[in-house]
Amino acid sequence: MLIGERPAKILILGEARVIHTQRWSRYFRDRGWTVRALSFPPIPAGAAAESLGWSSIPRALAIPLAVRHVRRLMARFRPDITSALFIPDYGWLAALAGARPLAVSAWGSDVLVSPEKSPLHRRRIRYVVSRADHLFADAEVLGARLEQLGARPDQITIAPLGVSESWLAAGASRRDDNPGTVTVVQSRRLEPLYQVETYIDAAAQLLRPPSPQFRFVVIGEGSRHGALVNRAHRLGLRQGLIFLPWLSEDELQKQFVAADIYVSTASSDGTSVSLLEAMAAGCFPIVTDLPGNREWITDGVNGLLFPVGDVRTLSNQLLRAATDLALRTAARERNRTIIKGRARWEDNMATVEQALAQTIEQFHRPQGTS
């Protein structure tokens, strides 16, 4: 995108270690924007982001202290727009720094969970929303919540992050389901929000006769890793359940294509990219009964739902899916059609880019013109 005869300039504030932030920055670089990115540490090797410092103190204290750094960079770089990813941290930092025009992105717990923690958290989110010129939400439920927090409907663009074409290509290479062992995979952060213990407890119920032969895979890292491994061992799951670290996209695709069923036990979600990846790769989804998941999954049609934390119902849904090959096969085709129509990364990011361009134009348009 050009501003006059030069490339548009965008300042991105977001967590450099999060793959969504890396993809977001890469998209705009590939599209010819001039990009500067700022992140609190740690910053992975190869990530094109500059450190904000302040890694040794709580984030709530680090953010006000980083405001001067952001202001200095904005004065030198003079971005045409600032894009802040995840409202309570980077949205708040951008708002405190006076970034304008400002676009903020809500990805789930930042507007579904954070405002309910305390009146202070709610005021912080409302403050950011009030300072934003445009807001992105990756699910309709998040868009509705942003309106409740003070955003105007015309300020909001619903744009799931989506999956790349390589996921659809990987899914197209899938072979017929193995009539023997049923492989189940989950790929979420190992943090309290995602309640992975529900998945482990369900595995413990099913990894014994007379259940079908299951194999369970946990992909991910986080503060609960040690506790979850210990839980699995206490439940006798040294066989039949394996833990894998975060994988490259190629390796993750191989795991999903080799799996029959995908599970998410999250207690809160917008549009989960992991769910979209599973749908594209042909895994049968079994996910928690949340509004964000219901935007993609119709229970008994293209997946199955279960209440948050309900081990027994998850176990029953896993048995149902494992023994109903016709349901899994029909869901696979429906889900790939859904992804092609609503969740292509390239298409959805083009929508984001267009909204940013319009926000820049509107911000600089003289008052009284249209």
Chain-centre distance of CA 124, in angstroms?
A: 22
The rounded Cα 13 to chain-centroid distance in angstroms is 16
Average pLDDT, the chain: 94
Listed residue (243, 253, 171, 184) closest to 213, CA to CA: 184
Percentage with pLDDT > 90 across the chain = 89
pTM of the model: 0.93
109-136 confidence digits (pLDDT tens): 899 999 999 999 999 999 999 999 999 9
Of residues 92, 96, 84, 72, the one with CA closest to residue 37: 84
Query: What per-residue confidence (pLDDT) applies to 180?
Result: 81
Higher per-residue pLDDT: 176 or 139: 139
- Count of other CB atoms within 10 angstroms of residue 9: 19
- Whose CA is closest to 14, among 46, 49, 61? 49
User: pLDDT by residue (tens digit) across 13-26?
Assistant: 999 999 999 999 99
pLDDT in tens, 295-311: 999 999 999 999 999 99
The tens digit of pLDDT for each residue in 163-176 reads: 999 999 999 988 76
Say whether pLDDT at 194 is over 90. Answer: yes
Looking at the DSSP bridge assignments, the partners of residue 136 are: 105, 157
Q: Which domains, and CATH codes, for the chain?
A: 2-162+344-364 (3.40.50.2000), 165-342 (3.40.50.2000)
